[in-house]
């Protein structure tokens, strides 16, 4: 059974870089999109961006200037980096897998458990 396990630093100070990793166990990278989503009390659920198995990236315009997503194919992991964080980046961050249904398109089928990241001085 495919699982997503995620980890990263949980406490940052303003201006630092947020870095999270999501590991895919029991499955392959190929044929899916790999996303990051965050949830904060102020903004609710927000899609951050995603990467496909060949390394193509797609970002939410609201965060594009500060976000990068990359793959580590050899370790079946994908990474999220958000630069110059502020208190507004405090949220639970989820990794997720999008898979394709012939009729229902590319839906978010599988989610990680989430990582709480707090930004405070």
Partner 1 sequence: EIVLTQSPGTLSLSPGEGATLSCRASQTVSSNYLAWYQQKPGQAPRLLIYGASTRATDIPDRFSGGGSGTDFTLSIIRLEPEDFAVYYCQQYGRSPYAFGQGTKLEIK
**Cβ(88)–Cβ(66) below 8 Å:** no
Residue 17 is encoded by which pair of tokens? 């870089």
Q: Is 89 helix (H, G, I), strand (E, B) or coil?
A: helix
Q: How far apart are CA 117 and CA 50, in angstroms?
A: 19
Question: Residue count at the site for partner 1 (CB under 8 A)?
Answer: 22
Is residue 7 a contact point for partner 1 (CB under 8 A)? no
Q: Which of 53, 65, 48 is nearest to 115 (CA)?
A: 48
Whichever of 19 and 47 has its CB closer to partner 1, that residue is 47
Of positions 26, 41, 42, 44, contacts partner 1 by CB under 8 A: 44
Of positions 45, 73, 87, 88, contacts partner 1 by CB under 8 A: 45
Whichever of 4 and 79 has its CB closer to partner 1, that residue is 4
Of positions 3, 17, 58, 75, contacts partner 1 by CB under 8 A: 58
């Amino acid at each position: 059974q495919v699982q997503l396990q995620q980890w990263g630093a949980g406490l940052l100070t303003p201006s630092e870089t947020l870095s999270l990793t999501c590991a895919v166990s029991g499955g392959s990278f190929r044929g899916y999109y790999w996303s990051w989503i965050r949830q904060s009390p102020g903004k609710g659920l927000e899609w951050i961006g995603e990467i496909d198995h060949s390394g193509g990236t797609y970002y939410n315009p609201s965060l594009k200037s500060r976000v990068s997503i990359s793959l580590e194919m050899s370790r079946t992991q994908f990474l999220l980096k958000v630069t110059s964080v502020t208190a507004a980046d405090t949220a639970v961050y989820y990794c997720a897998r999008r898979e394709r249904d012939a009729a229902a398109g590319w839906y978010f089928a599988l989610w990680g458990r989430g990582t709480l990241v707090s930004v405070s001085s």
